[in-house]
């Protein structure tokens, strides 16, 4: 929309709308006795200009594919976004505003995607939103390059504060965005120079503009225009129209403005405004002092304006899509991966599951037109490569192989942004031990049900000579503890193929845990769908061995030794605790028959296995540097250790 659009709001409505937003920004936290009003107050003019003049969005259809995306990286200022959503006609009611931060309301303490209409990603931990925005911009750039600007041509807008830029993830993500020249990405840096502890000069002397220029960003130093709506609009339009690089707009603001008591004060960051402070500020704003004041003429005007702008932009896009001659869904819809096209392996074959995943990826690219795949500098090591894909580069955004560089945290958060953008199957890989570097992003993927596929290879102490720094032992237990994340550790190549099908169809994030070393194929893959299944069965078993990953084949060898001794032994592969937990008790009992002792085997800590087994063969210590096979043997992942545990659980001398 151009700045001279005929449906421009009356200047008086503009002024009053900003005042109303600032009033809500004070009233919400005051009513909740919790929240952050100062940043929301300072950014009210910016937010109003973005929503009413600059962004393309349709409140009647918050998921319209070619809408601009807005991300509040400074998620503590969520009351700002909620007020903007209400004034612009989204399904956030006045009652929702009054219920700020209360149980079951649409206005939680930080923005939550899938919970509040109009919220694109779940933010709160600072810096995540910037990296999410980079992922969204990558998705937009790729789809635009492949399907044309008539169908895909939107911008990603993000508001970030000092804390966002201090967090390391923002450095990783900004560097990647500059390298790729993502020119449909605009970040507004709210330079209010205040943090919770006090002025930012307590902790930082960075020149943010110089830093972003060094990343290859276009930087606009907007200065002290925070109260000038027309100047804000001009700067935002300039940023939107810039080509060749993402843009950082440095906007000097004053936290808590126009409070006579708390402007430019660290106290304004949290809940410091008392009733008298609010009353004095509302008098300056020309409000009558009523809590949650929403004048009908202001609300009606802003909502009608947003609905009209949105309907017009949406209709124009629909006309362009129709002229393209093919429905949008036909261009980007991902079909279920055809299992018949995936490779299969014969019993006794030896293949690392990190190699099996690459074979599965190559076999399924035609079913996944939205697939964007990459790695944090470990592409060949992790199997996260499609042989027919070319790299995404500054000069070729149509490339679907992403080289994230050594930026695990940014990779994880960018994948969340891609997934939340839509029409993208985001797959990224690194060594399992580096899940530690990605954990905040993985957690947010789980929180907002972002369908990402996190591929983690080198899953155990079998990594070998690299030693304990690269040998994950506690990571499986850690990720299994995370609600909303499905963790699958396939036993062999066939289970890897089955896991890949599930991962690409999932409505939430999936972590695939894969081996570095070759593993003997011992399954047909069927155990993945139910979470656990019988690999070796015998009549009237005396004991059940439960394994995951490479340890299933060790269990098969141990079972052979035990059966030779007359100890009837069943072997179960349990690639997914989550899936098996969801099975009916009768299905579980058919696999883990009640009354039969169980011994679990996994090259990781024993934490949690008491749920499934009577004894556990595991590794409750960090690893060591030596050849992988020797490390496994010395740390007790062996046939001998398993048979000893069986003798113990059965009470054999």
Give the residue numbers annotated as catalytic, written as ranges. Answer: 408
- C-alpha closest to that of 207 among 225, 196, 191, 222: 191
Angle between helices 408-421 and 128-147 (to 10 degrees): 60
* Pair type for strands 371-375 and 452-457: unpaired
CB 522 within 8 A of CB 553: yes
Cα radius of gyration (the chain): 28
- Other residues' Cβ atoms within 10 Å of the Cβ of residue 71: 28
- Other residues' Cβ atoms within 10 Å of the Cβ of residue 366: 12
Buried b (16+ CB within 10 A) or exposed e, 1-24: beeeeeebbeeebbbbbbbbbbbb
Give me the residue label for tokens 């934490």.
607
Q: How many residues make up the chain in this entry?
A: 653
Half-sphere exposure at residue 125, Cβ-oriented, CA atoms within 13 angstroms = 17
Report phi then psi at 636, rounded to 5. 95, 15
> Which two three-digit tokens encode residue 148?
């044309």
DSSP 391: B
CA distance 414 to 284: 42
CB 50 within 8 A of CB 157: yes
| Residue 286 CB-density burial (10 A; 0-12 exposed, 13-18 middle, 19+ buried) | exposed
- Other residues' Cβ atoms within 10 Å of the Cβ of residue 340: 7
- C-alpha closest to that of 327 among 336, 335, 337, 318: 318
Taking the mean position of all CA atoms in its chain, how far away is CA 71? 13
- Element holding 25 (H helix, E strand): helix 11-32
- Element holding 519 (H helix, E strand): strand 519-520
CA distance 523 to 377: 31
CB 571 within 8 A of CB 535: yes
Which phi-psi region, left, alpha or beta, contains residue 209 (left: φ > 0; alpha: ψ -120 to 50)?
A: alpha
End-to-end CA distance of the chain: 82
Contacts of residue 473, defined as CB under 8 A and 6 or more positions apart, other chains included, come to 460, 461, 603, 604, 605, 619, 620, 621, 622, 623
| Cα distances (Å, whole numbers) of residue 34 to 31, 94, 160, 361 | 8, 18, 21, 47
DSSP output for 41-97: HHTHHHHHHIIIII----TT-TT-TTSPEEEESSGGGHHHHHHHHHHTT-S--HHHH
CA distance 382 to 376: 10
CA distance 419 to 371: 10
């Amino acid at each position: 929309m151009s700045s001279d659009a005929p449906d421009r709001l009356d200047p008086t409505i503009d002024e009053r709308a900003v005042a109303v937003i600032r009033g809500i920004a004070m009233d919400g936290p005051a009513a909740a006795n919790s929240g952050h009003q100062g940043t929301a107050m300072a950014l009210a003019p910016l937010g109003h200009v973005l929503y009413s003049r600059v962004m393309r969005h349709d409140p009647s259809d918050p998921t319209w594919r070619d809408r601009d995306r807005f991300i509040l990286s400074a998620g503590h200022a969520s009351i700002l976004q909620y007020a903007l959503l209400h004034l612009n006609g989204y399904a956030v009611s006045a009652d929702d505003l009054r219920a700020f931060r209360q149980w079951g309301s649409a206005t939680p303490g930080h923005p939550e995607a899938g919970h509040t209409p109009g919220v694109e990603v779940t933010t709160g931990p600072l810096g995540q939103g910037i990296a999410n925005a980079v992922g969204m911009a990558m998705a937009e750039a790729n789809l635009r390059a492949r399907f044309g600007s008539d169908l895909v041509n939107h911008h990603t807008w993000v508001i970030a504060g000092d804390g966002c830029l201090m967090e390391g993830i923002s450095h990783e993500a900004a560097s990647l965005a500059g390298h790729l020249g993502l020119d449909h990405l605009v970040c507004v840096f709210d330079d209010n120079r205040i943090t919770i502890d006090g002025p930012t000069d307590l902790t930082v002397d960075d020149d943010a503009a110089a830093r972003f220029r060094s990343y290859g960003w276009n930087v606009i130093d907007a200065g002290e225009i925070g109260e000038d709506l027309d100047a804000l609009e001009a700067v935002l339009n300039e940023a939107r129209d810039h080509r060749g690089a993402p843009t950082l707009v440095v906007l000097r603001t004053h936290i808590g403005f126009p409070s006579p008591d708390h402007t430019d004060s660290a106290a304004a960051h949290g809940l410091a405004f008392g009733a008298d402070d609010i009353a004095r500020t509302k008098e300056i704003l020309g409000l009558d002092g009523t809590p949650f004041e929403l004048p009908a003429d202001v609300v009606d005007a802003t909502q009608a304006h947003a609905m009209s702008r949105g309907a017009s932009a949406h209709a124009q896009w629909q006309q362009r899509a129709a002229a393209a001659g093919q429905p949008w869904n036909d261009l980007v819809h991902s079909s279920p991966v055809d299992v018949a096209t995936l490779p299969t392996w014969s019993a006794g074959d030896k293949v690392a599951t990190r190699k099996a995943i690459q074979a599965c990826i190559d076999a399924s690219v035609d079913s996944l037109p939205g697939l964007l795949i990459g790695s944090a500098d470990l592409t060949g090591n992790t199997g996260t490569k499609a042989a027919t894909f070319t790299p995404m580069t500054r000069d070729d955004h149509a490339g679907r192989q992403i080289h994230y560089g050594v930026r695990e945290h940014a990779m994880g958060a960018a994948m969340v942004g891609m997934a939340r953008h839509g029409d993208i199957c985001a797959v990224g890989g690194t060594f399992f031990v580096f899940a530690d570097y990605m954990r905040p992003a993985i957690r947010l993927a789980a929180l907002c049900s972002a369908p990402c596929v996190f591929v983690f290879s080198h899953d155990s102490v079998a990594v070998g000579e690299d030693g304990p720094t690269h040998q994950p032992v506690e990571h499986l237990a850690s990720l299994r503890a995370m609600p909303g994340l499905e963790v699958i550790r396939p036993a062999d190549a066939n289970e890897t193929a089955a896991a890949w099908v599930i991962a690409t169809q999932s409505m939430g994030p999936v972590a695939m845990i894969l081996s570095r070393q070759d593993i003997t194929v011992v399954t047909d893959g069927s155990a993945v769908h139910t979470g656990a299944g019988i690999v070796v069965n015998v009549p009237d078993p005396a004991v059940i061995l439960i394994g995951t990953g490479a340890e299933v084949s060790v269990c098969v060898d141990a079972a052979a030794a035990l059966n030779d001794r007359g100890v009837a032994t069943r072997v179960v592969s349990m690639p997914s605790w989550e899936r098996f937990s969801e099975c009916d008790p009768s299905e579980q009992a058919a696999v883990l028959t009640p009354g039969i002792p169980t011994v679990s085997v996994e090259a990781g800590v024993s934490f949690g296995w008491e749920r499934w087994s009577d004894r556990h063969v595991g590794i409750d210590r960090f690893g060591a540097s030596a050849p992988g096979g020797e490390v496994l043997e010395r740390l007790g992942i062996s046939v001998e250790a398993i048979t000893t545990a069986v003798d113990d659980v059965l009470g054999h001398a």
